[in-house]
Amino acid sequence: MRHALFVAYHYPPESSSSGVLRTLKHTRYLGRFGWRVTVLTLNREAYDVTDARLEDQIPPAVRVVRTRFLDVKRHVALRGRYPSFLAIPDRWLGWWPWAVAAGGRVLKDDPVDVIYSTSPHATAHLIALSLVRRSRVRWVADFRDPWYEDPPEPGTTRLGQFAARRLERLVARRADRIVASTVRLRDMLAARYPAKPREEFVAIPNGYDEEDFSGVDGLSMPSSDELLIVHAGSISESFRDPRPMFEAVRRGAEAGLLDPSRIRLRFLGGGPFGESAEMNEAVKRAGLMERVEFLPRVSYEASLAELSRASVLLLLQASRDTVDLVPAKLFEYLRARRPVLALVPMGATAEVLHDTGGGWVVNPADIGGLRDTIAAAYHAWTSGTLNSLTAKSTALEQFSRERLAATLAGQFDALVGLRHPA
């Protein structure tokens, strides 16, 4: 079998980001397409949030090489503060020396055909760049998110923005393939680097793993007593704010469009914002104190079970810089065979929902439209027609993790067939 070396910060047992699933699932299925994988990642103590059950999905044939690291925030900061230049391109730059040394040993002892690096964090690409310069191995750089925003995100220093531009340009020029998680992100990167051949930019979206649902399907049917709306993952004041939902339910009740005593909103792993005074006040003001639940974070497996019990699944993604991105959990929402209510601006997420027919898209600022959409969902639930609003199976199958791994393997195969650079 051909050999791929993966460089990734997010890999089990890390579980703070859905990005861990993208890398995990590629390594889980690439063996079926003629590629064995070695993963270069960090020692387990690097991760603040873990899920040991995710490690059970790593195939025995996948070799995981873990290294020491230096986390600027943890090891260098004084009272939580540190010079910003020490975190260029990110706080994990201190992983670079150990990772390059370990990767060099892999290249020497077990020849590699392709190196694949994935960000965030961008340090993974700099590690891959160092290894490619040593070995002249073909390189695929995967961008799950943009490296930098233009205009810059609030809080970004001039030095940080300048370095991000220069480093991304260096990676884009040297990598043999640029893979992006959405078509929109792929096109944005291709427009940034018009001198690079267009065919070297590839879109491989996130998706769902059919095997993850084998023990979940039919586990629990939605309750017939209440319309259960579930959101999985963290919430925040500026990015994933659920308060428009509370106001829309209140207005729907005042207009006689729904009965709030038959609606329950459940948030899994919402984080500190869910426990804040502002959130408590918003729930109280809407008269939903008995109808809104903020529950602790659960394992990935348990979260899928919770999705299967929902009537409607809630997606929150309101920031301007996510218009070109699609959160990985959307595909799990769709595969759970539940309608999705997405509070998002028009963009990549809205396009996926439109193409799959998997639910409703509402601008988070449109409280009136949100009220009417919740009322429509409530009416569909009371009339027993809610299940007719789920994603079409034929449209959803293209997002199978196994199919997506096959696409990545195809890119690897094409690169191995090319002559190596002089």
Contact 343, 360 (CB under 8 A): no
What single DSSP character describes residue 74?
I
3-state secondary structure 109-143: HCCCCEEEEEECCCHHHHHHHHHHHHHCCEEEEEE
pLDDT at 130: 97
CA distances to 27, 73, 141, 398 from 404, rounded to whole Å, are 11, 35, 16, 8
- Average confidence (pLDDT) per 10 residues, the chain, 422 residues: 97 93 98 97 96 95 97 86 88 96 97 97 98 94 93 85 96 97 96 97 97 75 84 91 96 97 96 94 96 94 92 91 89 95 94 95 94 97 93 94 97 81 44
pLDDT at 221: 65
Contact 127, 96 (CB under 8 A): yes
Contact 343, 315 (CB under 8 A): yes
Q: What is the tens place of the pLDDT at every residue in 65-104?
A: 999 999 999 998 887 788 888 889 999 999 999 999 999 9
Q: CA triplet 403, 404, 406: central angle to 5 degrees?
A: 65
Phi, psi (rounded to 5 degrees) for 413: -60, -45
Domains 2-207+400-416 and 212-398 share a fold: yes
What single DSSP character describes residue 152?
P
CATH of 212-398, one of 3.30.70.2860, 3.40.50.2000, 3.40.50.720, 2.30.140.10: 3.40.50.2000
pLDDT at 91: 94
**Cα separation of 107 and 40, whole Å?**
12
Q: Sheet containing 35-42: give its strands across.
A: 63-67, 35-42, 2-7, 114-119, 138-143, 177-180, 201-203
pLDDT at 422: 40
Tokens for 232? 């999985």
pLDDT at 217: 65
pLDDT, averaged across the chain: 93
Domain boundaries, the chain: 2-207+400-416, 212-398
Q: What is the tens place of the pLDDT at every residue in 108-159?
A: 999 999 999 999 999 999 999 999 998 989 999 999 999 998 888 877 889 9
Look up the CATH number of domain 2-207+400-416. Answer: 3.40.50.2000
DSSP, collapsed to helix, strand or coil, labels residue 302 as helix
pLDDT at 80: 78
DSSP, collapsed to helix, strand or coil, labels residue 375 as helix
Question: pTM of the full predicted structure?
Answer: 0.92
Phi, psi (rounded to 5 degrees) for 21: -70, -35
Q: Could you tell me how many residues make up the chain?
A: 422
CA distances to 184, 351, 364 from 369, rounded to whole Å, are 26, 18, 9
